[in-house]
Structure 1
């Protein structure tokens, strides 16, 4: 695709993420954090200008990864847990 052509948007609920870092290890660490929050596809790694690394990752924001799902579930108060009638 040329620079003048518009980039295709990902499907609804998905996000394309591009990470540029000086080393592959740094880019992978960032991708690992994102994968803990969102389900994701395979990452693709390319050389970046200047000797760095460019990593492309697709995440699915409609399906949180396990730790995020656990956090969301525990952050909501269980039903029926308001103040008791005898409490002010």
Structure 2
């Protein structure tokens, strides 16, 4: 587990996103794509103990734009849910 990993739920209509990448530039590039679809808060970044960067941001799913909006309105929940193998 990494520091500041206390699980808290975001407010209704928002989602917390974590991006783990080998370089800060790679993490920022992914965050930029997400920000084109969702309004969001300022990102927060943390070093990963093994090297690399972990970036956190909160997005407003009720203010989705473009492709994200159409995907959200037509998507259905997956039948398989739960944490990834490496998540608690």
Partner of 2:50: 50
Partner Cα separation in structure 2 for residue 8 and residue 47 of structure 1: 20
Compute the displacement of 1:62 (Å): 0.4
Give the structure-1-normalised TM-score. Answer: 0.66
Higher strand share: 1
Moved over 2 A (4+): none
Q: Which runs of 5+ in 1 are unaligned?
A: 1-5, 73-88
Compute the displacement of 1:8 (Å): 1.6
Q: Which runs of 5+ in 2 are unaligned?
A: 1-5, 71-88
CA RMSD across the alignment: 2.1
Give the structure-2-normalised TM-score. Answer: 0.66
